[in-house]
Structure 1
């Protein structure tokens, strides 16, 4: 299991999510704590990168960018975007 962390800017972005997105975000965090490498790489030209992205929410209205710090078994969310 990986430990979840979030940077301050991303925390502010989560605080701004609509209420209906919070359940989806919580489910996403549970997923990341177990299988963070399942998210696609942030950049397709660097498939082994520790920086990853994953879509969440109904109709894929949310995007989370995170970094997997494997030696420490940590997942650090660096950006949360909602376009819904």
Structure 2
């Protein structure tokens, strides 16, 4: 299992999510704690990077960008965007 963390800017973005998005974000956290490397790479031209992205939400309204720190078994969310 990985430890979930979030940077201050991303925390502010999560705090601004609409209520209906919070359930989807909670599901994303569970995913990140278990299998963060299943997310696609942030940049397709660098597939081995620890920086990943994941679309979330009922209709894919959200995008989270995160870094997997494998040596520490940590996942750090650096950006959260919601377009719904």
Do these two structures clear the TM 0.5 threshold for a shared fold by scoring above it?
yes
TM-score (norm 2): 0.99
Aligned CA-pair RMSD: 0.3
Alignment of 1:1-84 (within 5 A): 1-84=1-84
Listed one character per residue, the Cα deviations across residues 11-51 of structure 1 (whole Å, up to 9, x for unaligned) are: 00000000000000001000100000000000000000100
Gaps of at least 5 residues in structure 2 are none
Q: Secondary structure at the match of 1:59?
A: coil
Between the aligned partners of 2:64 and 2:72, the Cα distance in structure 1 is 20
Between the aligned partners of 1:64 and 1:27, the Cα distance in structure 2 is 12
CA drift of 1:58 comes to: 1.5
Between the aligned partners of 1:68 and 1:47, the Cα distance in structure 2 is 13
